[in-house]
Structure 1
Amino acid sequence: PHALTNSEIVGFCQLHKDDRSRLLSPDESGTKVIKLTDQVVVKFGRSVRLQEASAQDLAFKNTDCEVLRIPKVYRFFSQQESKWDSVGYLVMEKIDGVNLEQLGDWDKAEIVSRVTTVLNALHSIPGTCPGPISGGEAYGYLYAQKSSGTEFSTINDLESYLNERLAFFERKISLGGQHLCLCHMDVAPRNFIMDVYGRLCLLDWATAGFYPRYFELWSLEFADTCSSHQFGPVLLQSLKATAAETMEIENLNLVYRFNMRCRTKAYDEQTEEIMAAIGKTSKDESYS
Structure 2
Amino acid sequence: MPEAQQVSQAFPFEGWSLESISREDIIRALDDAPKIYSKAYTQIARISSSLVVKYGSGVHLWEARTMTYVAKMPRVRLPKVFDAWETKAASLQEESTTTYIVMEYVQGDLVSDVWPGLSSERRLSIHQQVYEMIRELQRTRLAVPGPIGGGVSNGTYFTDYGAGPFLSREELEEWFNERLLVCQEFGLVKATQPSFTGQFQELVICHFDLHTQNMILDGQGNVWLIDWAYSGAYPPYFEKAALSRNVDPAFAQGLLRLMDDGQFKEEIQQLEDIGFALSTGAFCKPSGKLINPTPGLMEMYIRSKVYIYHGKGTMITSRAKPTLDNGNVNLQMAAKE
* TM tier relative to shorter chain: 0.7 to 0.9
Corresponding position of 1:271: 304
Q: Mapping of 1:87-236 within 5 angstroms?
A: 87-104=98-115, 105=118, 108-148=123-163, 150-167=164-181, 168=184, 169=189, 170=191, 171=193, 172-176=195-199, 178-223=201-246, 227-228=247-248, 231-236=251-256
Q: Tell whether the 8 Å contact from 2:173 to 2:200 is kept in structure 1 after alignment.
A: no
Q: Tell whether the 8 Å contact from 2:169 to 2:200 is kept in structure 1 after alignment.
A: no
Partners of 1:74 and 1:23 in 2: how far apart? 19
Runs of 5+ consecutive residues of structure 1 not aligned to the other structure:
17-21, 279-288
**CA shift for structure 1 position 136:** 2.1
The percent identity for this pair of structures is 24
Q: Tell whether the 8 Å contact from 1:43 to 1:89 is kept in structure 2 after alignment.
A: yes
Alpha-carbon deviations, 1:201-258, whole Å to 9, x = none?
11001010011111101111112xxx34662222112112434x11111111233321
- Out of 104-113 and 202-211, give the one that drifted further: 104-113
Partners of 2:301 and 2:203 in 1: how far apart? 34
Partners of 1:103 and 1:260 in 2: how far apart? 33
Structure 1 residue 14 corresponds to structure 2 residue 22: no
Corresponding position of 2:273: 254
Structure 1 residue 77 corresponds to structure 2 residue 85: yes
**CA shift for structure 1 position 45:** 1.4
CA change 1:192–1:8 in 2 (3 A) is: same
Q: Tell whether the 8 Å contact from 1:185 to 1:215 is kept in structure 2 after alignment.
A: yes
- Give the 3-state SS of the residue equivalent to 2:251 in structure 1: coil
Partners of 2:23 and 2:232 in 1: how far apart? 27
- One-letter code aligned to 1:79: T
Structure showing greater Rg: 2
Q: Tell whether the 8 Å contact from 2:208 to 2:230 is kept in structure 1 after alignment.
A: yes
**CA shift for structure 1 position 58:** 0.9
- Out of 111-120 and 28-37, give the one that drifted further: 28-37
- Give the 3-state SS of the residue equivalent to 2:150 in structure 1: coil
**CA shift for structure 1 position 59:** 1.0
Q: Tell whether the 8 Å contact from 1:100 to 1:189 is kept in structure 2 after alignment.
A: yes
**RMSD of aligned alpha carbons:** 2.4
TM-score (norm 2): 0.72
CA change 1:231–1:70 in 2 (3 A) is: same
Partners of 2:165 and 2:283 in 1: how far apart? 22
Determine which of 260, 263, 278 is the counterpart of 1:240.
260
Partners of 1:12 and 1:88 in 2: how far apart? 15
Runs of 5+ consecutive residues of structure 2 not aligned to the other structure:
1-17, 285-296, 312-337
Partners of 1:264 and 1:155 in 2: how far apart? 22
Q: Tell whether the 8 Å contact from 1:73 to 1:93 is kept in structure 2 after alignment.
A: yes
- One-letter code aligned to 1:147: G
